[in-house]
Amino acid sequence: MAHPGLPPDGIRPVLKYSRDIIEKVLDAVDIVDVIGARLTLKPAGPNRFKALSPFSNERNPSFMVSRDRQIFHCFSSGKGGDAIRFLMEYEGLSFGEALRTLAEQAGIRIASTLTAEDREESLRQELLELNGWVNGRFQQHLSDSKRGIKARSYLEQRDIPHALIKRFGIGYALPDGNDLVQAARNKQFNLALLEASGLFRKNPEGWYDFFRDRITFPIRDLNGRVVAFGGRDLSGNSPAKYINTPETPIYRKSKVLYGLYEARDAMRKAGRAVLVEGYVDLIRCHAAGVEHAVATCGTALTEQQAALIRRYVPEIIVVYDGDNAGLKAAVRGASVLTGAGLKVRALALPDGLDPDDFVRRDGAEAFHALLDTAPDFVAFYANIRKNQLNSPEAKADAARELFEILSGVDNSILVEEYLNRIAEALGLSMWTCREEYRRFMASRNSRGSAVSKPTQTAGRTFSRDDQMFLADLLAYPDLRGEVALELADVEIENPVLANSLEWVLEQDESANNQNSEKLRGAAAAHLDPDALGLVSASMLLDPHDRNLAEPFVRERVRGLKLRYLEKKSRQLTESLRTAERNQDKTRVVELLETIAGTRRQMEELIRASRGGATSTVK
C-alpha cells in the first residue's frame, strides 16, 4: 500500500529505516485509532473524522482525519501527514521514536542501521534507559527497611498517601554520594553517558552522585518515560531545598510540566487544568481529588508549556503564592497562557498558604470550593491591586500589567468586557481605560512585539472565525439577508474579509456549499486572490449545525459592529478635542451627544452578548 504521507526515499530523518519496514508499520495501524487515542474525534462524513486542533487555539474543529487515505490535516496550523508525522508533531518525538511507538503498538519488531548521524538519538535512548534504571533504584531505596526509614518518615509526616508514592514513582537518593556511581559502573554504563545524564558530578577525587539525601520525584514525558528528576533535601545542610536535573538531550525544562503525563485523562474529563508550583503541592492536589493538576516546579511558565496544556483543555486555574514575587510571576504566566488561547482563572489561598498546607489544614472540600469559584484572572488581579492603588502612578502600573495580559485575547467583546472590569477596579472612566489600552497596543505593535489580531490585519491574514463565519453563511442562505441588513452601515477594517463577505452576501440562495465547484468558479471570476483564498478556505470547512450556526453568526456580527463602533468612538473623540481647542461650543455639544449614543450602542452589544439573545442576528 502506498502512503500519501510518506516522503520519498532518502529524506527520512535520523535512523535509516528501510522503506519496506516503514510501510509495514503504517499498514499495520489505523491512523484513526492512533489519533483517536489522543484526541476526541467526531464523525465528519464517510471515513472522515474531525477534532479541535491540538496545535492551535480554536473553537470550531479544523483538524481532519481520513481513514481512506490514512492521513491527517490541520487547517488552522497547516500540519499534516501520516500516523508517524502525527506522533512527531503531537508528542514531540523524533521520527525513529514515533516509528518504534507504532511498531510496538502493532507488535512488529524493527531493526535500524546506525550511522554517524544517528549518535544523538542513540544517546537519547541510552539516557532514557539509564533514567529508568536510576528511578527503579531510588524507589528500592525508599522501600528498603533500613536505608529508606528517614525518607519514609518524612513522607508520612507530610501525609503523602502510599498509593500516590507508587503512582508518581517517588524514591530516595542515599546520602553517601557514591551509590549510583558504583552501581552504574557495575552495570557497565559508559562514562560519556553518565556525564551526559546530569545525574553525576566530578571533583578532583572522582565522580559522585548529584542527588544525595533527597526525596526524588521522577519527571516524565508524554509517553511516561523518565527524562529527569526533582529532589527535596532531607539533610538540612543544603542551600537548595529543591534541585532538578540540569538540561540534557532528553530534558528541556521549558518543554516539560511535572505531572502532565499522570493528569492528561483527568484534564480532559474536567475540561480544565490546575497549575501549581511544586512537586508536593501537585501530589497534594491529587490526594485531594484534584487529579487535573500540573506543576511548573519553580521555573517561569513558557510558551511551550502553555501550548502543551492547551492541547488537552481550554481553561486553566492558576494557584499562586500570595507574595509580591508570586503575583508578578502570575502576571507573566497569565500573559503566556492567554496568548496560547487558554481561559485563565486565578486563586490565591488564604493566609499565604500553598496547596499542600491549605488542604492539610482546611480539607479537600474547602479546596474544591475555592477552585470552583475562582474568578477570571483579570478580575482577580484587578481586585488584588485594588488595595494598593494609592497614587496615580500605582494605577498606571496596574493598568499596564493588566493590558499586557489582555494583549493575548483575540476577541473584541471579551476585551471590552475586561476593560469594563479594569476601569471599575481602578476607578477610571471607561473612556480613559479604553483609550489607554489603545495606546498601549499601538506602542506594542510599533515595537514589533505584539501579535497582530488576524481580523485587524490587511493582506492575506484572516482568522479561523472569519472562515467559519463565511462557511455558515454559504451553508445557510437564509441567514444572509439579516446579516446584510445589520452590517449595511458598518465599515469592516480587514479588506480581505470585507470583500469576501460582500461577495457572499450578494449570492442568491442557490449559491451554497452543496454546490461548491460552481461556487468556487464564480468566486474565482469575481474576487481578488486574497479574498478568493479566504472564500476557498471557508468552502473546505464543515459548517456548524443549523442550531449552532445562527448564534455563532450573530456573535460574529456583534463583534464586527463593536469593532467598527470602537473605531468610530476614537475618531469622534479626536474631533471633540479639536472642537474644544477651537472653542466651538456648538460642535462640542453635538459631538458629546454623538459619542454618548455610540457608547450606548457598544454597551447594548456587550449586554446582548452576555445574555445570549437569540431572536435576531443583532
**Dihedral over alpha carbons 272, 276, 280, 284 (to 10 degrees):** -40
Query: Which range has the top average pLDDT, 85-94, 274-283, 480-489, 521-530?
Result: 274-283
Average pLDDT over residues 423-446: 82
At residue 611, does pLDDT exceed 70?
no
At residue 16, does pLDDT exceed 60?
no
Average per-residue pLDDT for the chain: 82
Residue 614 has a pLDDT of: 39
At residue 11, does pLDDT exceed 50?
no
From the number of C-beta atoms within 10 Å of its C-beta (0-12, 13-18, 19+), residue 422 rates as buried
3-state helix, strand, coil in the chain (%, to 5): 55, 10, 35
User: Order of strands, edge to edge, in the sheet holding 315-320?
Assistant: 293-295, 273-276, 315-320, 343-348
In the chain, % of residues over pLDDT 70:
83
At residue 519, does pLDDT exceed 70?
no
Average pLDDT over residues 569-588: 87
Residue 109 has a pLDDT of: 83
Average pLDDT over residues 33-41: 93
pLDDT tens digit sequence for 331-348: 778 888 887 778 899 988
**What's 119-250's CATH class?**
alpha beta
Confidence of residue 618 (pLDDT cuts 50, 70, 90): very low
Residue 526 has a pLDDT of: 65
Residue 158 has a pLDDT of: 93
At residue 392, does pLDDT exceed 90?
no
At residue 119, does pLDDT exceed 90?
no
Q: Which fold has domain 255-374?
A: Dna Topoisomerase Vi A Subunit; Chain: A, domain 2 (3.40.1360)
What CATH architecture does domain 19-113 belong to? Alpha-Beta Complex (3.90)
Residue 345 has a pLDDT of: 92
For the chain, domain boundaries: 19-113, 119-250, 255-374, 384-451, 464-611
Confidence of residue 198 (pLDDT cuts 50, 70, 90): very high
The pTM for the full model equals 0.59
- Range with lowest mean pLDDT among 67-81, 159-173, 316-330: 316-330
At residue 5, does pLDDT exceed 50?
no
Average pLDDT over residues 399-427: 79
- Range with lowest mean pLDDT among 327-341, 362-376, 582-596: 327-341
pLDDT tens digit sequence for 537-558: 666 666 777 777 888 888 889 8
Residue 381 has a pLDDT of: 80
Residue 475 has a pLDDT of: 83
Average pLDDT over residues 573-586: 87
**What's 464-611's CATH class?**
mainly alpha
Inter-CA distances, 510 with 167, 354, 410, Å: 60, 62, 34
Provide the grid cell at 246: 540540569
Number of helices (H), then strands (E), in the chain? 26, 15
- How far apart, in whole angstroms, are the C-alpha atoms of residue 484 and residue 474? 13
pLDDT tens digit sequence for 443-472: 776 554 333 333 333 334 566 677 788 888
Confidence of residue 356 (pLDDT cuts 50, 70, 90): very high
User: Order of strands, edge to edge, in the sheet holding 48-51?
Assistant: 42-43, 48-51, 63-66, 71-74, 80-81
Residue 1 has a pLDDT of: 41
At residue 563, does pLDDT exceed 90?
no
Residue 191 has a pLDDT of: 78
Residue 566 has a pLDDT of: 86
Q: Radius of gyration of the chain from Cα atoms?
A: 28
Name the β-bridge partners of 203.
206
- How far apart, in whole angstroms, are the C-alpha atoms of residue 81 and residue 296? 32
At residue 144, does pLDDT exceed 60?
yes
pLDDT tens digit sequence for 217-264: 999 998 899 999 999 999 988 888 999 999 999 998 888 999 999 999
Residue 69 has a pLDDT of: 79
